[in-house]
Chain A
């Protein structure tokens, strides 16, 4: 196995990005260190990126949101006449298929997170394309709300993946061209098959960029435009940020342990049991207290840990194909925290950030290519926001009654779940639906029936009746039924499961985001597994060797 990839970093340790803060304006400059690849074997020339570069970008977007409430606009730009030539081809060519897919997923999530910041944090992203932006470089610009292109009569934006590499602009490129920037499809078709790309006035005319900026005053004018864009933001001018302190975690061969989250790995069963602990101690009574707690505020701390765990397991534990999701804690405590968030999320920037952060982490679960099974047992706290964890799963097993030899069981407390207001809109999925809305798609009356039981602890029987859980074995069946279900699941084809789960999870309408994670990624992953791209004579492998790719010319 490759070395373990860690997703924790901080600006002081960045090797590829520079974060310059100018009051309400932040400059995020890509300056890739050629020899700084995450794994050996390729050079990151021409501001090309790999997973390591993108981990830093993601870290920067998170810190800008939490640590810099004063920042209203973020300018993403390059250095010394280079914007970015996209994902590093030699890295892609030598990577395994799962690695490529996971890499693309993470980069897609980061770009969606940038758009989420523009939409929900009052922190707008602007791309200042100071030099050639090719492939993933231009896709990075596409994730910004405004694209400013240097007008030097030579710098172009391009998506040359198809003509040069035999793959797709798969980091949202094709989707954002037509769905976000409304580029006419025939022009988009011409654009993505023109390897040299489009520059200057034509790029504006086609809608590929918003404005061209003269070269001599580029940075100054970019700054002015950016500040204009940030002006309407509702972010506070005098607030203090919350430092995202390093996460404490212990990784051993069969467990990953954080303060509020842990995963226990059963390698033989290819299963990870993820346990999220609910809040302990008093609920912070005031906003001041929440801000003072900062990164220690339970919802934020738990969300950070859960996110790190998801990324860790996805990247480093590919063979752990089933994630069992559990919670432990007091239902009342979980709901009390949630009330604090509900009360302040529209008025307080930090609480708003926490809510959207948890939303994004839930979305990460939604697009995770692992079987997700919630086990709802006595002592669990699947209530409100935490219930979303169960609803994100492919199945929910809820123990009816108590286990005879269970500690909590001896106290006679059977498991309960609680539906709260936050299940009806606080954490939408990528398709714009709530998880309850997706669950009851086409059956609004069932969603309404669940709403009628708002804030009431529901027994297994009631939860089953309402359709909130899948199966409710009692103590006599629980162990065997769960064991058999997990073993049976683990024995199925991982590819069939990935495709099956991705299809069933996203019922209903398409959005730009679902198209990126569904349609575009699925096509890209198909292309990635074809010889025309990834075979020894495929375009991806032959790129830069001086040899032509040999194609199987049959259209599929």
Chain B
């Protein structure tokens, strides 16, 4: 083998890539394809370089390095959280046994599937956000978009690493297929529905990073519990980065709400469109949409797959070890909601098959925190209107509520009422056209678009006016 590639330099890692011939061989073939994909499907706006955070190690301090980097030169690295050699499986039939460092053949198919599904979401969001750069409200936001994009790219690398390192030929083929599917494609769409929805504007982007990336956080949280240790350690490290995506979403919506509140107060009006703001009811409709499609990502409330994953030790619960039960759940009973006779009623179900709902409930509780934040902003501005999460049965395409019409307040309604009311609940063509009209790029340092407030502080101690992105 020619020793011309310095892997540690080109691909920061803590998996001893330099001496792993199998991984090198796999990455040699994959890396050019990834770069080609990035060029074809990654950010479309031409830039010279971007002020980015790059993961260079996993230590508590300084695991990230900041600097201006041309996007194609970004050093996508491979990092796993540090290994705990005493770790044992925390749940399922293997509870108490040492975790696996290699894929048990018995669970190959399921583990491969879990990793592929997770991996498929990572490049999907990059594709969905490809054209957003050209309408960024500020250089600061543009930089955050690119940071999210490169980190999604790194998360793809993380999943591809697992496929390459642990699944031999089948893993390499799946890794290639991750680059062959694309978001919204007619012929080869991304696996999960929400990742084929367009992200046409920045309000959608903030909603996506708040609600949809938060689903990713919870999925990673369950995989962090996995008895397949490399998957667990990979996800643990990914969660650190995921926090930044949450931050972009949370503060993005904060700033939209703050600007809206400001315009409402200044003009003593609810409809603030003539001043270039986004009315609160429109924000609510966007929120309703993104929250409901993100709930679909949790899958059916009743799922035998997830029960199998749990018992096999592949996918645990959110914060598994803090749960006060037997972590096996063979006889445990839980309740799930179903729609019967136009009522939402609770029925008993084995806890194992209700694990998707368990995770969804954790997610919903987390989402409420955002609502509290935004409502505090409204309250502080002296505005009486409040944003709210719709009922979790609202606008669902997957699971127990699919096929039923549920109002945001949780009432089962008829098709006619739904048709009549939907324009008040979900973004209309008019809403989308209006938001699109606001999407005028503001790319001079220190300036910001009319519909959003500036951030309270910049990135890594830099001021808002900092030239985070050098355009080409």
Contacts and interface: CB of A to CB of B under 8 A. Distances in A.
B102 A488 contact: no
Interface in A465-495: 471, 473, 476-477, 480-481, 483-491
Given A471-B169, A484-B168, A476 B105 contact: no
A487 B22 CA distance: 21
A485 B169 contact: no
| Most chain B beta carbons < 10 A, residue from A473, A477, A491 | A477
Given A471-B169, A473-B168, A473-B169, A480 B106 contact: no
A491 B168 contact: no
A490 B107 CA distance: 11
Contact of A490 (B103, B105, B166, B168): B105
A262 to B, nearest CB: 24
Contact of B108 (A471, A476, A477, A484): A484
Contacts of B105: 483-491
Nearest to A485: B105
B25 interface: yes
A288 to B, nearest CB: 52
Nearest to B24: A476
Nearest to B165: A480
A480 B21 contact: no
B108 A488 contact: yes
Contacts of A480: 22, 102, 166, 168
Contacts, number: 37
A484 B105 CA distance: 4
Contacts of A484: 103, 105, 108, 167-168
B19 to A, nearest CB: 12
Given A476-B22, A476-B25, A477-B22, A487 B104 contact: yes
Main secondary structure of the interface of A (DSSP, over half): helix
A488 B166 CA distance: 14
A483 B102 CA distance: 10
Nearest to A488: B105
B64 interface: no
B109 interface: yes
Contacts of A471: 169
Contacts of A486: 105
Nearest to B105: A487
Contacts of B166: 480
Most buried by A among B21, B106, B167: B106
Interface string B366-397: 00000000000000000000000000000000
Interface size class of A (residues with CB under 8 A): 10 to 19
A77 to B, nearest CB: 53
Interface residues of B, number: 14
Contacts of A490: 105-106
Contacts of B169: 471, 473, 477, 481
Nearest to B104: A487
B168 A487 contact: no
A487 B168 CA distance: 14
Contact of A491 (B25, B102, B106): B106
B452 to A, nearest CB: 50
Interface string A23-65: 0000000000000000000000000000000000000000000
B410 to A, nearest CB: 44
A193 B130 CA distance: 77
A476 B21 contact: yes
A122 to B, nearest CB: 49
Contacts of B167: 484
Interface string B198-217: 00000000000000000000
Interface in B75-122: 102-106, 108-109
A481 B26 CA distance: 14
A280 to B, nearest CB: 35
Contacts of A487: 104-106, 108
A199 B169 CA distance: 65
A487 B25 CA distance: 25
Contacts of A473: 168-169
Contacts of B102: 480, 483
Interface string B130-173: 00000000000000000000000000000000000011110000
Nearest to B167: A484
B168 A488 contact: no
A488 B109 contact: yes
Contacts of A489: 105
Interface string B165-203: 011110000000000000000000000000000000000
B144 to A, nearest CB: 40
6 contacts: A477-B22, A480-B166, A481-B168, A484-B167, A485-B105, A487-B108
Given A471-B169, A477-B169, A484-B108, 12 more contacts: A476-B25, A477-B22, A477-B168, A480-B22, A483-B102, A484-B103, A485-B105, A487-B104, A487-B108, A489-B105, A490-B105, A491-B106
The 6 closest A-B pairs by CB, nearest first: A487-B105, A491-B106, A488-B105, A476-B22, A481-B168, A477-B168
